Amino acid sequence: MSSVTLEGVKKVYAGGVEAVKGISLAMPNGSFTVLLGPSGCGKSTLLRMIAGLETITAGSVRIGDRVVNEVEPAERDIAMVFQNYALYPHMSVYDNMAYGLRNRGTPREEIDAKVRAAAQMLAIEPFLGRRPRALSGGQRQRVAMGRAIVREPQAFLFDEPLSNLDAKLRLAMRIEIRRLHNRLKATSIFVTHDQVEAMTLADLVVVMNAGQIEQAGRPSEVYARPATRFVATFIGAPAMNLLPGRVTARGVVEIEGGGTLAFDPTVFAAEPGRSVEIGMRPEDIAIAASDQPHALAFSRELIEDLGPNRLLHGRIGGHALTISTAAGVTIPEAAAMRLAALATSVHLFDPASGRSLRATA
């Protein structure tokens, strides 16, 4: 297996449309990197440039020590798993998995050993004689993964491979992919718009927006320390609440018509008088104690009961807000209530740039 390194990679289509805007990124040998972002952000285009399926306008792609900009896809020693499986319908599962090895002239005994080992690993041994149409969606995706595994490539590339599966099967396949990575220790790059897939699979999450990287880091880091407004609202379900406010004193911020909150002035650089966007994750907001010095006036409009937790939707100073509470927490009968959040869980963003005001960001 090898590392994958991008240096100033750009993709410009006819008419000057920039799909990827100079991305530099190092993906270490054996790592699992997830490219996460909304449709049209450039993540699949970037993956296809690594695979050689899209030409590179500028910059370089390096697999191991070799720059592969001009190398044909078949010569890059990578394996790709697609959203639509891309299986040959007239071939058996066995032949689909063996096809690439046969094209390389691999000895028959070696092909058989690799195909059967991969089939055992993926629990598809009983289906080796079947054709794809006789398989479920999850089984077809396992076959596509098996076809990639037998090649023993330098890197695995996954292009939204779970998008066509139902929710239950996506969960099962997500666990399967992570177990497979833990076993193979293969360099893997996975594209998705699903934040749950990203957070549960990745060693490194790369959040993309409009052809650029908004933030790259460990899942826990990206969640707890979002570098931009976009990352803060894209990661997390429900999304982080954002409210307009103004710093009134060191470590205190006010929401117009809504009350005040404390924030950590050693973490966020925001002087009194500055306008800010206040970020709070729904699970970090609680019903305030009667003696809480800084609290928000919340008007509840709707309660969603999700079993282990409940979502309370309402407004603060005319601005929408959602909080998440455990099912056992007592909710006041009155719609009007006071809310509070720990100073360490309050985020501040610059309203103009959307960048975090975290002093160490």
The CATH number assigned to the domain holding 198 equals 3.40.50.300
pLDDT at 1: 66
pLDDT at 185: 87
- Check whether residue 187 and residue 288 sit in a common domain: no
Structural domain contains residue 9: yes
- Check whether residue 199 and residue 304 sit in a common domain: no
pLDDT, tens digit, 9 for 90 and up, residues 25-76: 999 999 999 999 999 999 999 999 999 999 999 999 999 999 999 999 989 9
In total, the chain counts a number of residues equal to 361
Asked if residue 186 lies in contact with residue 156, where contact means CB atoms within 8 angstroms, the answer is: yes
Average pLDDT, the chain: 92
- Check whether residue 192 and residue 63 sit in a common domain: yes
Rounded to whole angstroms, how far apart are CA atoms 146 and 165? 18
Rounded to whole angstroms, how far apart are CA atoms 179 and 181? 5
- Check whether residue 223 and residue 239 sit in a common domain: no
Structural domain contains residue 358: no
Residue 337 clears pLDDT 80, i.e. is over it? yes
pTM metric for this prediction: 0.90
CA separation, residue 335 to residues 207, 301, 304, 331 (Å): 37, 7, 14, 9
- Check whether residue 132 and residue 261 sit in a common domain: no
Structural domain contains residue 355: no
> What is the average pLDDT across 100-128?
91
Asked if residue 303 lies in contact with residue 337, where contact means CB atoms within 8 angstroms, the answer is: no
pLDDT, tens digit, 9 for 90 and up, residues 264-286: 999 998 999 999 999 999 999 99
Residue 90 clears pLDDT 90, i.e. is over it? yes
Domain count for the chain, please give it.
2
pLDDT at 122: 86
- Check whether residue 220 and residue 244 sit in a common domain: no
CA separation, residue 307 to residues 248, 284, 314, 326 (Å): 39, 19, 20, 9
pLDDT, tens digit, 9 for 90 and up, residues 134-174: 998 888 888 988 998 898 888 999 999 888 778 888 888 88
Domain boundary among 229, 247, 270: 229
CA separation, residue 312 to residues 11, 114, 261, 330 (Å): 43, 53, 19, 12
- Check whether residue 255 and residue 306 sit in a common domain: yes
Rounded to whole angstroms, how far apart are CA atoms 228 and 253? 19
> What is the average pLDDT across 281-294?
90
Range of the domain at 275: 234-349
pLDDT, tens digit, 9 for 90 and up, residues 205-241: 999 999 999 999 999 999 999 999 999 999 998 999 9
Cα 244 from chain centroid? 27
Rounded to whole angstroms, how far apart are CA atoms 154 and 78? 5
146-173 burial code (b ≥16 CB/10 A, e <16):
bbbbbbebbbbbbbbbbeebeeebbeeb
> What is the average pLDDT across 171-187?
87
HSE-CB of 99 using CA atoms within 13 angstroms: 17
309-336 burial code (b ≥16 CB/10 A, e <16):
ebebebebbebebbbbbeeeeeeeeeee
The CATH number for 292's domain is 2.40.50.140
Asked if residue 298 lies in contact with residue 337, where contact means CB atoms within 8 angstroms, the answer is: yes
Q: What percent of the chain shows pLDDT beyond 90?
A: 72
pLDDT at 184: 84
Whether the link from the prior residue into 238 is cis, omega within 30° of 0, is yes
- 155: nearest Cα among 122, 189, 201, 182: 189
pLDDT at 162: 85
Which amino acid is residue 299, in one-letter code? S
- 216: nearest Cα among 229, 202, 225, 205: 205
Structure tokens at 8: 């100033």
pLDDT at 360: 64
pLDDT at 189: 96
Structural domain contains residue 132: yes
